[in-house]
Amino acid sequence: MTAAALHRRRRSGRTACCVAVALALLLAPLLGGCSKAQEAKPTLEPAVAGEEITFPDHKDPLGVRLASVGNNVARTLTVPGRLTWDEDHTTRVFAPYAGRIERLRVAVGQSVQRGQPLADIASADIGQAQADLHKAQADLVVARAARERARDLSEGGVIARKDLLEAEADQARAQAEAARTRARVAQYGVAADGVTQGLLLTAPLGGVVVERNANPGTEVRADVQGPPLFTISDPSSLSALLDVDETQLSAFKVGDALMLHCAAWPDLEFKAIVTSVAAAVDPASRTVKVRARVPNPQLRLKAEMFVTATALQPIALPMVPADAVFLRGEASYVFLQLAPGRYQRQQVQVRSAGPQEWMVLQGVNPGQTVVVGGGLYLNQLIEAAR
């Protein structure tokens, strides 16, 4: 490189350096001013006034979720239960006399008609009842003859009127005793024409034999209440025994319709009608027993199946989600949205309406908006400002 070229290159470098220095001097005040402006800009904080908090620019903070307060709505309740025999279509047969079972005539699962024989029982008590009937009938014959004789003698003046009245009273007593013993024998179908000591136990109700606790040769006693010899029920009608929490009782009234579901038929619904509501809370489960009748014409449902019942519960009080309520000491509070970015902490009186909702007794009106997510954050901001 020549000396002239080297001289020109050094001169060009000095010129560029001077230009850069001049630009730096010119831009320095501007850059300094921007930095000072950024440092001077204040960070806006939420404003707290008493129980209210307002965010800058009236914008809701991130993470805050809202819900409207509902009223005059109905919610769907689901309660567990199990199926049992319908007591209005079920009978349990016991032995009316002590004795021994000689023969069984039906088996479990067999359909029977009313009056159909179930078992043959041999009993000395039955023989005694038959003997009492024949004795009472014989006494009645004697009493009638004595009355006729006394009437003839009284008309002939042989005996006094008093003796005739006594004969008539004896006949009346004998007639009453004969009627009593006859009714006792006829009540259970015991043969009255002789002393057989045999009883034919019959079905008092038509249906299906669903339980049998008897075997040939079994000794039975009428004065000891054990399990029934036979249980007969009509399976075309069952009962659903439901366990209802006391806060859900308003949805279960006698005559109300329910829908039942069971695991055996997951795609089907079975209609049921509430027939009774227990008068007390079960001390063990802390629930109220509700019984409903379930028509079962196709015999799809079976006794002792587990079911779930659904019902609609009308709600007269304002309802809020459970996430909207928080505790502050021993009192319950919610946050109401007064406007976008503006909230008020409000004390409320609530009552449980299930695991996910509260009924508000005081403090909130229908149509207002409550905070269901971020309420604790808002509460911390208010407490920090105090």
Question: Which pTM value belongs to this model?
Answer: 0.59
Per-range mean pLDDT, top range of 18-27, 69-78, 286-295, 309-318: 286-295
Within 10 Å of residue 123's Cβ, how many Cβ atoms? 22
For residue 354, the 8-state DSSP code is S
- Interatomic CA distance for residues 203 and 230, integer angstroms: 9
- Interatomic CA distance for residues 94 and 171, integer angstroms: 36
Domain 77-88+233-315 architecture: Beta Barrel (2.40)
Contact yes or no for 69/360 (Cβ under 8 A): yes
| pLDDT at res. 296 | 94
- Interatomic CA distance for residues 269 and 247, integer angstroms: 25
Nearest to 352 by CA among 247, 253, 208, 197: 247
pLDDT band, very low/low/confident/very high, at 73 (cuts 50, 70, 90): low
Question: Residue 382 is inside which H or E element, if any?
Answer: helix 375-385
Two tokens at 149?
């004789």
pLDDT band, very low/low/confident/very high, at 111 (cuts 50, 70, 90): very high
Instruction: For 226, list phi and psi in degrees, rounded to 5.
Output: -105, -160
The region of weakest confidence among 49-53, 154-158, 241-245 is: 154-158
**According to CATH, where is 2.40.30.170 located in the chain?**
77-88+233-315
| pLDDT at res. 14 | 53
Tokens 């028509």 identify what position?
Answer: 295
Fold of 124-196: Helix Hairpins (1.10.287)
- Bridge partners, 111 (sequence order): 208
| pLDDT at res. 35 | 47
| pLDDT at res. 297 | 93
List pLDDT tens digits, range 334-359.
999 999 999 999 999 988 776 788 88
- Mean pLDDT for all residues in the chain: 84
Fold of 52-72+317-385: 2.40.420
| pLDDT at res. 185 | 82
| pLDDT at res. 335 | 93
| pLDDT at res. 269 | 94
**According to CATH, where is 2.40.420.20 located in the chain?**
52-72+317-385
Mean pLDDT of 289-301: 95
Mean pLDDT of 242-265: 90
Mean pLDDT of 129-141: 88
**According to CATH, where is 1.10.287.470 located in the chain?**
124-196
List pLDDT tens digits, range 34-69.
444 445 445 568 888 889 999 988 888 888 899 888
